[in-house]
Amino acid sequence: MYDLPSEEVGESGLPDEFHPLQATLLRLTFQPFTYPSEQVFSGMDLNIYYDPNNTRRYKRPDWFGVVGVPKLYEEQDLRLSYVIWQEGVNPFIVVELLSPSTQKEDLGEIEAEPDEPPTKW
């Protein structure tokens, strides 16, 4: 198992079997008691657009949770992404699950190139 990983050569950071399980566990247990359940949103591998001055910049964490927004966008549609300047609420918590092949990036040990967005938050 450890000698033959499931990642393709040149495609580092692909999720392993545990990533969806861990994200599901986070979603099921992220229920802040001060907010009604319909005002708690969580996303897994969903783009978070964070810079209204550069609308192509986004991060795609393994999981994040937001309180104070409806589960459905405008209370009717599933979200295709999370756009902070449209929602008006920052994520309350963001989780990046470590991958052995991208551990240095996941831990923020790799510096971003000048004029580029940060590699990890």
Please check whether residue 60 lies inside any domain of the structure: yes
Instruction: Decide if 40 contacts 66 (C-beta within 8 A).
Output: yes
Please check whether residue 68 lies inside any domain of the structure: yes
* Rounded Cα–Cα distance for residues 10 and 103 (Å): 15
Phi/psi at 84 (5° precision): -60, -40
Q: What is the pLDDT of residues 2-56, one digit of tens each?
A: 455 545 545 555 556 777 889 899 999 999 989 998 899 999 989 999 999 988 8
Q: What is the DSSP string of 55-77?
A: TT-EE--SEEEEESS-SSBTTTB
Please check whether residue 87 lies inside any domain of the structure: yes
Please check whether residue 49 lies inside any domain of the structure: yes
Q: Which domain holds residue 91?
A: 18-106
pTM: 0.78
Please report the pLDDT score of residue 1 as a whole number. 40
Long-range contacts at 101-106 (CB < 8 A, ≥ 24 apart): 101/5, 101/7, 101/12, 101/13, 102/12, 102/13, 105/13
Please check whether residue 95 lies inside any domain of the structure: yes
Please check whether residue 113 lies inside any domain of the structure: no
Please check whether residue 4 lies inside any domain of the structure: no
Q: Give the CATH number for residue 95.
A: 3.90.1570.10
Please check whether residue 10 lies inside any domain of the structure: no
Which alpha helices (H) appear in the chain, and where do they start and end? 18-29, 84-87, 103-106
Number of structural domains in the chain: 1
